[in-house]
Amino acid sequence: MVGDEHVTMVPVPPGKRWAATVNSQSVEVLAPSNAVLLDVLRDKVGTLGVKRGCDLGTCGCCTVMIDGVPKLSCLTLAGQVEGANILTVEGLSDGAHLAPIQTCFSTHGGSQCGFCTPGFLVASQALLNNNPEPTRQEIACAIEGNLCRCTGYQQIIDAIEAAAVIHRGEAALPAAASSPHADPHPSGPGEPTMPPGHAR
Amino acid sequence: MTMGTYRQQPGASKPEVRKDGKRVAGKQVFPPPGSGGSEPTMRPRDLDFIPETVGGKEPKPAGDHIHDRDRTGTVVGKSIPLVDSNAKVTGQAWYGDDVRLPGELIGKILRSPYHYARIKSIDTSRVEALPGVIAVSTGKDAPNRFGVLPVTKDEHAMAVEKVRHVGDLVACVAAVDESTAIEALSLFDIEWEEIEPVFDPKKGLEDHDEPIHWRGKYHLSRTNVQKRVFQEFGDRSLVDSPFAASHGAWTMSGVHHGFTEPHAVVAHWDPNGRLQLYTPQQVPHYTHRALSTVLDVPMHQINVVRTFVGGGFGGKSDPFPHEMCAAILARKAGKPVRITFDREEVYWINRGRHPSHIEVKMTADTDGRISSFDIDALIDGGGFASFGHVTSYYNGVLATAPYELGSFHYTGARVWTNKPASGAMRGHGAVNTRCAVEVGLDEMAESMDVDPIDLRLANLLPPHSRTISGFRITSNGMREALERVREGSEWDTKFRQLPLGKGIGIGCGFFISGSGLPIHWDPKNFPHATVHIQVDMDGGVTVHTGAADIGQGSTTAVAQVVSEVLALPIEMIHVRSHESDTSPVDLGSYSSRVTFMNANAAIRAAIGIRDQLLKAAWEMLGYHPNVLVLNDRRIYYKHDPAVGVSYLQALHKAQADTGALIARGAYRSPPMGGVHKGAAAGLAPAYSFSAYVAEVDVDVETGQVSCTNVWAAHDCGKALNPMAVKGQIIGSCHMGLGQVLSEKMVYGRTGHLQNANLLEYKIPSVHEMPHVEAIIVESSDPEGPFGAKEAGEGPLLPILPAVVNAVYDAIGVRLRDLPLTPDIVYAGIQKHLRKLRLEEPEQMQPPRLEHGPLQPLLVARGDLHRERDRLRQRSEDTSAYVNGVLFGFDPDRPLSEQHEGWREAYEPLPEQLAELGFAGRAWLKKEQRQIQREEEEQRQLDIDESEKPKIAVEHKTPPKDRKSKRGKSQKIRREL
Ligand code: FES
Ligand code: FES
């Protein structure tokens, strides 16, 4: 790691204006010109749903969609994607309703500790956008860059399969199977079903 | 007005309005939406989820359970999403690094570049001079020791005198941003003096000029042995004339938990001088204690906030030095400090599974009974103790079931080496020996010409029995698990019949469900787990528990049992478990204790609330609680559901005099086990059992092994949430497969960890995962919550031996180096070819099985025992059963009347010393206090009887001492 000699670090370059569309909001932040997208998203934009598992491109937790393509944000320079359309896990739901893929992850046990989940969700949403009828093998290939230590992937693949069915319109969203009452406190039309704002 | 006047006759629910204009209780309008009773009519009870023993339709093959009466058919037994899953799928779950406090500083840690070195001086002046550095700290700021186990506190926040492995903490800084902090790390001026390091655990058994730690008078000579264990039970004379035997020496690499979230911590001293520490921890309470010790601050001035935990698996179950560092820096800086590890640092702090050298010998007699297990485990602990004290025991004692043994002999030693510390990891201590034992059984079955499954089925301990080391087994689904994987995998048509390169193998395991001893206090004084429940006017139920949800779903389990008892939708149950300020003390998530202990405590608390509600309903309806039914936000008369009150009405009635309803529940495990040294290790209120069959493909040319199918049966007592249980089983398979096929912490020749990243430390990806058929076996544990036992760790054990046995089935080569990476398998195949003088690997013959004469005998015994087990499981047979009955031991007669061989020993006899295995050699060394005493006595002897010949200190102990030892070691087990 660190020896005794003093290595002067590369001086931090001055902040530069960085603009992009993140989750359909245009954002503009000051970021060093050599900043990595992951850092900008987490530290400047504030999308903390993008997770840092390794910083080396080995875990997939930091996956975001850049102009529709899933990419590892820890291996992407912010400058490269200036002005791009970036989708993080926060952008999957419309603020009031979960996307089918999100619901399916929770109903099929695709998320245990949940740290890998944002990456998986973005990668699988990208798959579903391009391939409405993926086979299990195709699903596996789509998430091969994502590491999950908890689930053993099987329930993740189940979840993605189930979400694909919903995307194709062949099944309705599963009712939350948690209680005899699918919805104990039915909300009026247009009322959010998901608590807005931070759970914190 | 007394509510009692609302009384109605059964079946007569009219009239709706009484003469005085008041509404009849049963027909009252339900309260408005959002108040816990929004539906005009309640749903009928879900009879499929109510046990048949109390009138429902859920089958209970294992018989009655005390919690059956508390079932309401609401959520228990249903696959529901984890209660916090919405936070996780929306990215709102807040993990360690997601806690961002205003004005935060970034902390960085300076780590040792040397394996073993003394710090002669540290000059921080250049660091402090760097603009942007706010606080600097070194070891001298925090001299107090801490450690997860009270008996082995050997860690400092930062190295105080010497560093013990590369990556050991030396100093830390807090700066305004990350790059300043990193730059600051290069400005420390440190004078080092290197010391000769130790890497090989076998060398750790030898004397060293400078042992890594010094335990004073308890130190073992001058070695690096941290803990040695000797245990011997049963009749050793059975070993002498075996009918079949197996012997194997194993080398198992260290593995890491590989959780996806690197460690992170945020510390902040609030304006009142209280420390707020946010950390992803499995054991927030231990951190709490350690912080208090290290910082010299009383515990009540610290609030430990457990963030969401991005995977633990035992890797976040120690109080960590970086947590202390963050607190120290924040105190110095007066601002919040956040420290986040990069992936490499995660490996430096390690606490993964111990690299182990394990030797297993076993024998069987002519009846196909297992007459002995001899295990020797030398485990490499790295630089610190961590959970190692316990691991040293677990390596042995967790191999004493599920089989009935004639005798058991274990020697274990844990040594310090100059590597990152090993610790607890999923399947703590049991995994490696379990693998060695199960493979040994396979080998023994082969030499007896019997089917390994039948060998196991004929030698299982029944439910409600005692193992050879005195563990109390309650429910036991081992037999069912074995039978179900045998059937599911079509074992009988595949085993020893598949072509070369394809194989199938079996493995079993058992694991503790909670540890019987809360390590920080006497269980007589304080319970293992406590849960508080509070219900206020709105009807929402707030549950306070300290259980740390690390993704396994403990919060969900607690919410589920409360929801079940109170018959409320799970959305009305809110579990608060993050802060030590609000949660009752809980030991944390380890030893698979949470579901068992916390859910039990939660059930008790919920029953407390339920009783208050029923009492109120009694006053309102006039029916005794015995005839009232709780269902879906309504309490009604059993024989006429129309007569009843809504949940909210009963609640408000109950609250009339007291305000919010409060109840607490606690769990304490029953007194168990003996009093001997180490008796507490492995004691648990219940044990889970599992059996796996794995199918593999082996490429005989390259040695590449891939696992294609797994049938995994796990006895979890009762699946509170089948989806979560299956998730645990599949996840365990994933982790175990990693250990057996690809994961390995590689230490180079110079002792340096070479693969501290996720690229070279190869965790199975989605493509390496086989299809796992998760089979849930429900044996209904009499003490478990609704019958449940653990499902988080036990399922990991059998996958390793199942795969190793399957590889043997495929190629006929026994391999005993884990992981079975292609180079190991290839080398094994080549050696095999040379031995058989074959040219090509294709010419190898996979092993075949001709059933021998023992086979029908074993099958017959297995059949006989199936009935025995069924009766015992259903408590129709309540006679005592201890390990040894199979060998003619009578559990009802005192031990003195039994035949002589049965013994129990915790120290080797002098004549045994010569033949002990590697770890056993630690017993050749003497403790410092013994050495001193002997020197003292020697001096006395020299003075008193200078004319007599000298007694060699090395070989003999003074007669008096020796006699007392022998008396102790031959102590016969009495309390059987
Ligand atoms: S953080 Fe980007 S792949 Fe791990
Ligand atoms: S859910 Fe924990 S890593 Fe995937």
Q: Which residues of A touch B92 (CB under 8 A)?
A: 49, 198-200
Residue spans of chain B under pLDDT 50: 1-16, 23-40, 951-976
Q: Locate the chain A residue with the closest alpha carbon to B556.
A: A178
Q: Locate the chain B residue with the closest alpha carbon to A93.
A: B90
Put simply, the answer to whether B81 touches A107 (Cβ < 8 Å) is yes
Tell me the helices (H) and strands (E) count for chain A, helix number first: 5, 5
The residue of B349, B766, B771, B796 whose CB has the most chain A CBs within 10 angstroms, and thus the best one to mutate to test that interface, is B766
Q: Locate the chain B residue with the closest alpha carbon to A177.
A: B80
Q: Which residues of B touch A178 (CB under 8 A)?
A: 75, 78, 80-81, 83, 569-571
What are B859's two structure tokens? 């099958």
The per-residue pLDDT for A127 is: 94
Count Cβ atoms within 10 A of the Cβ of residue B316 and give its class: 0-12 exposed, 13-18 middle, 19 or more buried.
buried
Residues contacting ligand 1 via CB (< 6 Å): A 52-55, 57-62, 72, 74
Give me the DSSP letters along B516-582: SS-TTS-TTTS-SEEEEEEE-TT--EEEEE----SSS-HHHHHHHHHHHHHT--GGGEEEE-SBTTT
Tens of pLDDT along chain A (200 residues) come to 444 555 555 556 678 899 999 999 999 999 988 899 999 999 999 999 999 999 899 999 999 999 999 999 999 999 999 999 999 999 988 776 788 899 899 999 999 999 999 999 999 999 999 999 999 999 999 999 999 999 999 999 999 999 999 888 887 766 543 333 333 333 333 333 333 333 33
Q: What H or E segment, with its residue span, contains residue B817?
A: strand B817-818
The per-residue pLDDT for B874 is: 84
Hey, which of A61, A64, A116 would you mutate to test ligand 1's pocket, going by the most ligand atoms within 8 Å of its Cβ?
Answer: A61
Extended strands (E) in B582-652: 628-631, 634-637, 640-646
Put simply, the answer to whether B259 touches A113 (Cβ < 8 Å) is yes
Domain boundaries, chain A: 15-89, 100-167
Query: CB atoms < 10 A from the CB of B612, how many?
Result: 20
Asked if the domains at A15-89 and A100-167 fall in one CATH topology, the answer is no
Task: Give the type of residue at B201.
Answer: P
Count the alpha carbons within 13 Å of B208 in the hemisphere toward its beta carbon.
Answer: 27
Letter string b/e over residues A157-174, b meaning 16 or more CB atoms within 10 A of that residue's CB: bbbbbbbbebbeeeeeeb
Q: Which residues pair with B631 in a beta bridge?
A: B634
Put simply, the answer to whether B759 touches A179 (Cβ < 8 Å) is no
Per 3-state DSSP, chain A is made up of helix, strand and coil in percentages (nearest 5) of: 30, 15, 55
Put simply, the answer to whether B74 touches A49 (Cβ < 8 Å) is no
DSSP annotation of B827 reads H
- Residues B286 and B547: beta-carbon distance below 8 Å: no
Give me the DSSP letters along B873-940: HTTS-----BTTGGGT--TTS-GGGS-TTEEEESS--GGGGGG--TGGGGGGS-BHHHHHHHHHHHHH
Return the CATH class of domain A100-167: mainly alpha
CA nearest to B801, candidates B792, B811, B809: B809
Minimum-distance CB partner of B550 among A7, A108, A113: A113
CA nearest to B532, candidates B581, B590, B582, B566: B582
DSSP annotation of B405 reads B
Residue B783 phi, psi (nearest 5): -110, -10
Residue B274 phi, psi (nearest 5): -95, 145
d(CA B347, CA B342): 9
B39-44: long-range pairs with CB below 8 Å, 24+: B39/A181, B39/A184, B39/B633, B42/B631, B42/B632, B42/B633, B42/B634, B43/A180, B43/A181, B43/B631, B43/B632, B44/B631
Summary mean pLDDT of chain B: 86
Please give, rounded to a whole number of angstroms, the shortest distance from the CA of A131 to a CA of chain B.
Answer: 19
The per-residue pLDDT for B608 is: 93
Q: What H or E segment, with its residue span, contains residue B190?
A: strand B189-194
Write the ipTM. Answer: 0.88
Strand B356-364 to B275-279 pairing = unpaired
Helix axes B430-448, B388-397, angle to 10 degrees: 20
* Cα B550 to ligand 2 centre (Å): 10
Put simply, the answer to whether B92 touches A180 (Cβ < 8 Å) is no
For domain A15-89, the CATH superfamily is Beta-grasp domain (3.10.20.30)
3-class DSSP state for residue A35? coil
Q: Locate the chain B residue with the closest alpha carbon to A197.
A: B92
3-class DSSP state for residue B832? helix
Please give, rounded to a whole number of angstroms, the shortest distance from the CA of B247 to a CA of chain A.
Answer: 33
d(CA B751, CA B747): 5
Sign of CA dihedral B292, B298, B302, B304: positive
3-class DSSP state for residue B777? strand
- Residues A115 and B261: beta-carbon distance below 8 Å: yes
- Residues A131 and A167: beta-carbon distance below 8 Å: no
Put simply, the answer to whether B571 touches A153 (Cβ < 8 Å) is no
3-class DSSP state for residue B640? strand
Give me the DSSP letters along B647-713: HHHHHHHHHTTTSSEEEEEEE-PPP-S--STTTTTT--S-EEEEEEEEEEEE-TTT--EEEEEEEEE
**Beta-carbon contacts below 8 Å between A and B:** 249
Q: What H or E segment, with its residue span, contains residue B503?
A: strand B502-512
Q: Locate the chain A residue with the closest alpha carbon to B78.
A: A178
Per 3-state DSSP, chain B is made up of helix, strand and coil in percentages (nearest 5) of: 35, 20, 45
The residue of B260, B425, B709 whose CB has the most chain A CBs within 10 angstroms, and thus the best one to mutate to test that interface, is B260
3-class DSSP state for residue A86? strand
Put simply, the answer to whether A150 touches B727 (Cβ < 8 Å) is yes
* Cα B580 to ligand 2 centre (Å): 25
What does each C-alpha distance from B50 to B599, B639, B828 come to in angstroms? 18, 18, 54
CA nearest to B291, candidates B301, B282, B976: B301
* Closest ligand 1 atom number to CA of residue A51: 1
The per-residue pLDDT for B136 is: 95
Peptide bond into B819 cis (omega under 30): yes
Please give, rounded to a whole number of angstroms, the shortest distance from the CA of B429 to a CA of chain A.
Answer: 20
Hey, which of B82, B89, B257, B260 would you mutate to test ligand 2's pocket, going by the most ligand atoms within 8 Å of its Cβ?
Answer: B260
Whose CA is closest to atom 2 on ligand 2? A113
3-class DSSP state for residue B723? helix
Q: Which residues of B touch A58 (CB under 8 A)?
A: 343, 757-759
Using only C-alpha atoms, chain A has a radius of gyration, in whole angstroms, of: 19
Put simply, the answer to whether A178 touches B262 (Cβ < 8 Å) is no
The residue of A179, A183, A200 whose CB has the most chain B CBs within 10 angstroms, and thus the best one to mutate to test that interface, is A179
d(CA B641, CA B653): 20
What pTM was computed for the model? Answer: 0.89
| Tokens 């025991």, located at residue | B393
Task: Collect all residues with Cβ–Cβ distance below 8 Å to B444 and sequence separation of at least 6.
Answer: B244, B245, B246, B362, B363, B364, B455
d(CA B78, CA B569): 13
* Closest ligand 2 atom number to CA of residue B311: 2
d(CA B624, CA B329): 61
Pinpoint the alpha helices (H) of B90-233.
125-129, 178-185, 201-204
* Closest ligand 2 atom number to CA of residue B261: 3
Using only C-alpha atoms, chain B has a radius of gyration, in whole angstroms, of: 30
Letter string b/e over residues B174-185, b meaning 16 or more CB atoms within 10 A of that residue's CB: bbbebbbbbbbb
The response to whether residue A15 sits with its C-beta less than 6 Å from ligand 2 reads no
d(CA B603, CA B610): 10
Alpha carbon of residue B685 to chain centroid? 13
- Residues B209 and B196: beta-carbon distance below 8 Å: yes
Put simply, the answer to whether A179 touches B563 (Cβ < 8 Å) is yes
* Cα A147 to ligand 2 centre (Å): 8
d(CA B800, CA B505): 10
Q: Which residues of A touch B572 (CB under 8 A)?
A: 184
- Residues B781 and B789: beta-carbon distance below 8 Å: yes
Give me the DSSP letters along B341-389: --HHHHHHH---BPPEEEEEEEEE-TTS-EEEEEEEEEEEEETS-TTHH
The per-residue pLDDT for B50 is: 87
Task: Collect all residues with Cβ–Cβ distance below 8 Å to B762 and sequence separation of at least 6.
Answer: B738, B742, B743, B744
- Residues B891 and B404: beta-carbon distance below 8 Å: no
The residue of B86, B89, B123 whose CB has the most chain A CBs within 10 angstroms, and thus the best one to mutate to test that interface, is B89
Among the bound ligands, the one closest to the CA of A72: 1
d(CA B735, CA B8): 60
Put simply, the answer to whether B257 touches A111 (Cβ < 8 Å) is no
